Amino acid sequence: MELYENKLSGSIPKEAGNMTALVNLWINDNSLSGVIPQQIGNLHHLRILCMFMNKLSGPLPPTISNMSSLGTVDISSNTITGALPSEIGSMKLGILILDHNALTGTIPSAIGNMSDMRSLLLSSNNLNGPIPSTIGNISNLRDLLLSFNKLNDLSSNKLSGELPSSICKLSHLNYLLLSNNTLEGRLPHCFENFSGSLTIFHLNENKFSGLIPSTFSKNCSLMSINLGNNKFHGRLPKSLINCQSLRVLYIGNNRIQDDFPFWMERLRKLLVLVLRSNKFGGNMSLPSRTKFPFPRLQVFDVSHNEFLGSLPQRYFKNFRAKIYPTVFYEEFLDYVEMILTLKGQDQLLNRLPETFTAIDLSSNRFCGTIPPSMGNLKSLKYFNLSHNSLTGHIPSSFGNMSELESLDLSTNNLNGEIPSELTRLTFLAKLNLSTNNLVGQIPQSNQFSTFENDSYIGNLGFAEFR
């Protein structure tokens, strides 16, 4: 029965349990409300049960475990409450999708009895407690999503404790998303072996510590790694160069202590590189043998580290993604979750738009002048060089950055006048030139007429403030 994407409202009638010959029930994308009736368990021949995107509430009926033919259950994006019934472990489900609800309690250890499970999605609920060690018994599991999207959901899983070593048995994992919980401890070494099957590996916003797995295999298939906001230390493993399909690497807000990973310049599909708020250091302008480094990069954030020397000019010449938006776009990019400083505020992005571009080199020890070649970044939207020791003039070529929405050059030692060419930046919504040595008149035309005085304070040589 296919009744999806209509405007059905009201509750699911108890009489639905009388349709015992029913094989498929699709009533998703409606406005159905109320509880799921116990009588649903009478549908012994049902193989697919899809009720997602409704307004259903109350607990899952324990009678659902009577449906011995059921292979797929999707009741996501409702307001289902209560605990996962332990009876669910007796089912032979291949797909169980209950994310974006309000489930409470722990994940029952009986979940490990579901040996045929391929996809288990419990993200964005109110689950707590440890991940049961029996999870390792689900040997065919491909997708394990237990995370919480802070941007869109009120429900928040708070799974705790260490990852069970039995997770090493899940050798076919494709998606592993455990973000935004309170998991802790060191990662099992077996994660190095998963790199041949894993494509999405997100453990961000937890309390994990220790070293990042150091040996990624030659057949690495990882496309997105997010380990941000944990307590990882040590160096960035050079074996990541084996992950030639990698699009996203986010390891911000950890304790990684290393030089800049020049070897990553050869990751030709990389879209996002975020190393912010670690202990990286050294000179990023050292010679490199890579002719076209980072050819597809859209987001480059190394802020709040200890880099020194001149700005890495070769990156601004060759970041072609900043000039021609990338063509590498897959559905998985909707899972991207990044914290970036945009327009002076930390903001959370839960997906990567195709045209989104950002460079953030702020809060380091860069010195010297700003290369005029930066003006070639014509599709760059967010640019932050603040809190460094940069000298010289603001390049007039910045007027060519026609898509720029935010420019922060504050807290440097820049001198000279504001180039009149900057008035051509008609998309510029945020400008911060404060705490420099700038002089002369402040432009009054176009976007400059909208900026407050705090964009310019700390420059004693300006002729006047508005």
Higher local confidence (pLDDT), 288 or 283: 283
- Counting every residue, how long is the chain? 466
Mean per-residue pLDDT, 217-236? 94
- 3-state SS class at 264: helix
Cα-to-chain-centroid distance, residue 313: 28
Does an H or E element contain 439, and which?
A: strand 437-440
Tokens 């202590």 -> residue: 257
Q: What's at 31, amino acid-wise?
A: S
pLDDT over 80 (residue 69): yes
Q: What is the pLDDT of residues 353-362, one digit of tens each?
A: 778 899 999 9
pLDDT over 60 (residue 449): yes
- 3-state SS class at 374: helix
**pLDDT at residue 315, rounded to an integer:** 80
Q: What is the pLDDT of residues 191-211, one digit of tens each?
A: 767 777 899 999 999 999 999
Tokens 């705490």 -> residue: 435
φ, ψ at 74 (rounded to 5°): -130, 105
pLDDT over 80 (residue 284): yes
Higher local confidence (pLDDT), 2 or 398: 398
Mean per-residue pLDDT, 237-246? 94
- Cα–Cα distance measured from residue 260 to residue 306, given in angstroms and rounded to the nearest whole number: 10
Which CATH topology does 288-466 take? 3.80.10
Per-chain mean pLDDT for the chain: 89
**pLDDT at residue 225, rounded to an integer:** 94
**pLDDT at residue 353, rounded to an integer:** 78
Q: What is the pLDDT of residues 74-130, one digit of tens each?
A: 999 999 999 998 888 888 899 999 999 999 999 999 999 999 999 999 999 999 999
Q: What's at 235, amino acid-wise?
A: R
Q: What is the pLDDT of residues 417-435, one digit of tens each?
A: 999 999 999 999 999 999 9
Task: Please enumerate, as own/partner, the contacts of 164-168 that have beta carbons within 8 Å and a separation of 24 or more.
Answer: 164/130, 164/131, 164/132, 164/133, 164/135, 164/136, 165/133, 165/136, 166/133, 166/134, 166/135, 166/136, 166/137, 167/131, 167/135, 167/136, 168/136, 168/193
Higher local confidence (pLDDT), 336 or 38: 38
Q: What is the pLDDT of residues 6-22, one digit of tens each?
A: 888 999 999 888 888 89
**pLDDT at residue 309, rounded to an integer:** 96
- Report the C-alpha dihedral over residues 62, 66, 67, 69, rounded to 10 degrees: 140
Is 375 in contact with 398 (CB distance < 8 Å)?
A: yes
Q: Running DSSP on this structure, what letter comes out for residue 79?
A: E
Q: What is the pLDDT of residues 158-177, one digit of tens each?
A: 999 999 999 989 989 999 99
Percentage of residues in the chain having pLDDT higher than 90: 67
Number of other CB atoms surrounding residue 58 within 10 Å: 15
Angle at 351 between CA 157 and CA 96, to 5 degrees: 45
φ, ψ at 405 (rounded to 5°): -110, -25
Higher local confidence (pLDDT), 254 or 331: 254
- Cα–Cα distance measured from residue 418 to residue 15, given in angstroms and rounded to the nearest whole number: 74
In this prediction, residue 149 has a pLDDT band, given cuts at 50, 70 and 90, of low
Instruction: State both tokens at 44.
Output: 């012994």
**pLDDT at residue 2, rounded to an integer:** 80
